[in-house]
Structure 1
Amino acid sequence: MTQNDKNSRSAYHQAYEVIRDRILNGDMPGGTKIVEEKLAAELGFSRTPIRESLRQLSNEGLIVNKKVVKPTEKDLRNLFQVRILLEGFSAKSAATYLPEEDLNCLSKCIEIGRKGTAEEIMDANERFHEVIVQSSGNSLMIETIDRMKSTIYLFRKTVVLYNRPRLIDEHEEIYEAIKARDGEKAKQLMEDHLKEDLDFCLHILRSER
């Protein structure tokens, strides 16, 4: 790889992270029209890394039809249907395959969920689900969830910042089922947990209209 190639990749990563963070932090709210030239001038990048960044953000579902995504109820339901299927299976796998080290990690995530700052809780919530998904050992499933990660973040932010009831209690119940190596129970608890997340996000979405 030449130095120019390295510089190009570096510019792409920087531009991608800046634009993604602006979307996730609400600085570019849902519905904002994306103008490539304007973003390039504003952020100080050439148009090529901006274009590559926007393509990646489109793949992740954060940009749709050159606008920042403004999820509908249907979008929300579709996202959670996929998560329920994949993460339910992953929880069942975790009950069989998750090593002691990762069990300890889940326990730590629950502890942070009860005592941490909002940002720490967000990170711990993401890590909790990530560890369980990784336990599936299915690279296609892991990649599918990974591609959805940024959109999932938007809804995870909703359940944490609006203090969804029993969020961490449900994590603990899932953890206990995995620790007890009860795959069917872990699967059911994860599915129920995500359905509660969905119902809560739908409630917030409707109340903000």
Structure 2
Amino acid sequence: MLLGSDRSRPAYHQSYEILRDRILSGELPGGSKIVEEKIAAELGVSRTPIRESIRKLEQEGLIVNKRVVKPTGKDLRNMFQVRILLEGYSAQCAASYLKENELEALYQCVEVGRKGTREEIMMANERFHEIIVHASNNPVMIDIIDRMQSTIYLFRKTVVFYQRPHLIDEHEQIYHAIQARDGQQAELLMKSHLQADLDFCLHLISNE
């Protein structure tokens, strides 16, 4: 598969997106070794853009020591501890600061979560959390979560694919707390929601 002919986008960007999408789709499963020479030949580029792509994917936590990450239980706990703290606080902020149009967008995410296709549910899930995180109005916090997005995507795909019980019910409860401007309740519900995600993923790992 050669890179596209779009010369306005550097080879590094294109190769990064191809590698990232292969990891996120499962085409390159956890534990796969990333061989620079092989990928460079396959994509028709030099090793330099591949090396830069791998470096960025390492920063995002998708590659470690030239292998696709296969998160351990400890990795999961560490990441979710950060999410629980930051997104719990963000939910509290959302109860104070979300505008009516943003509340409506949050509700639409809940509706799609109940009625959409698996892909639509994935997108709605991501959007739901994104709206709340951005309500913090804290660029440092937003950046931390953004840099975790690729890894978060892998876990989000797990909870959607395996249909974690009560996932959308919890989103609806968080929405109602935010709509009621009850920041304390919104924070508690978000923390509980993410803890349930963590417990679900840990259970799946333990049964592999």
Give 1:72's aligned amino acid: T
Q: Report the RMSD for the aligned CA atoms in angstroms.
A: 1.2
Q: Gaps spanning 5+ residues in structure 2: where?
A: 1-5
Residue by residue, what CA displacement relative to the aligned partner does 1:114-152 show, whole Å, maximum 9, x if unpaired? 010101100000000000000000000000000000000
Structure 2 equivalent of residue 3 of structure 1? none
Distance between the aligned counterparts of 1:161 and 1:142, measured in 2? 26
Q: CA deviation at 1:47?
A: 1.5
TM-score normalized by the length of structure 2: 0.95
Give 2:61's aligned amino acid: G
TM-score normalized by the length of structure 1: 0.95
Distance between the aligned counterparts of 1:207 and 1:123, measured in 2? 27
Q: CA deviation at 1:7?
A: 4.5
Structure 1 equivalent of residue 56 of structure 2? 56
Q: CA deviation at 1:206?
A: 1.2
Residue by residue, what CA displacement relative to the aligned partner does 1:152-195 show, whole Å, maximum 9, x if unpaired? 00000000000000000000000000000000000000000000
1:96–1:183 CA contact under 8 A, matched in 2: yes
Q: CA deviation at 1:46?
A: 2.0
CA distance 1:8–1:51, change in 2 (3 Å): farther
Residues 36-185 of structure 1 aligned to structure 2 (within 5 Å): 36-185=36-185
1:30–1:70 CA contact under 8 A, matched in 2: yes
Give 2:82's aligned amino acid: V
* Number of equivalenced pairs: 203
Structure 2 equivalent of residue 187 of structure 1? 187
Identical counterparts, % of pairs: 70
Distance between the aligned counterparts of 2:184 and 2:172, measured in 1? 16
Give 1:114's aligned amino acid: R
1:63–1:69 CA contact under 8 A, matched in 2: yes
Distance between the aligned counterparts of 1:127 and 1:55, measured in 2? 27
Distance between the aligned counterparts of 2:164 and 2:52, measured in 1? 36
Residue by residue, what CA displacement relative to the aligned partner does 1:61-107 show, whole Å, maximum 9, x if unpaired? 00001110000000000010000000000000000001111111111
Q: Gaps spanning 5+ residues in structure 1: where?
A: 1-5
1:8–1:49 CA contact under 8 A, matched in 2: no
Give 1:104's aligned amino acid: E
Distance between the aligned counterparts of 1:131 and 1:46, measured in 2? 39
Distance between the aligned counterparts of 1:8 and 1:207, measured in 2? 46
